[in-house]
Amino acid sequence: MRKTIFVYLIFASIVKSFCGSNKYVFPIVSDKKAAVIYFDINDYKVVGISSELLANDIESITGIKPEIKSSKKICDQYVIIIGTLNK
């Protein structure tokens, strides 16, 4: 594969504060709600496949499947962005 897929797990529009040593965290799943997975529908096909596989992995661990969106407008509090560079 020529391109490497990068998963950006640290992108969040708002950082939620917590008590103790975990002052700033990025919850993939919190309060029975998962971070939303975003990808560009015009990117390589493997990006969409990777998005679905990640959602399945999160569901198998937590029991909660993240929503997958291909919109360019990001309006969720916590998001995971999957994509390739230079596409």
**What global pTM score does this model have?**
0.70
* Total domain count, the chain: 1
pLDDT surpassing 80 at residue 63: yes
Q: Distance between CA 76 and CA 78 in Å, rounded?
A: 6
Question: What pLDDT, on the 0 to 100 scale, is given for residue 21?
Answer: 52
Per the structure, the complete domain to which residue 11 belongs is given by 5-84
SS3 content of the chain, % helix, strand, coil (to 5): 20, 30, 50
77: pLDDT confidence band, cut at 50, 70 and 90? confident
31: pLDDT confidence band, cut at 50, 70 and 90? confident
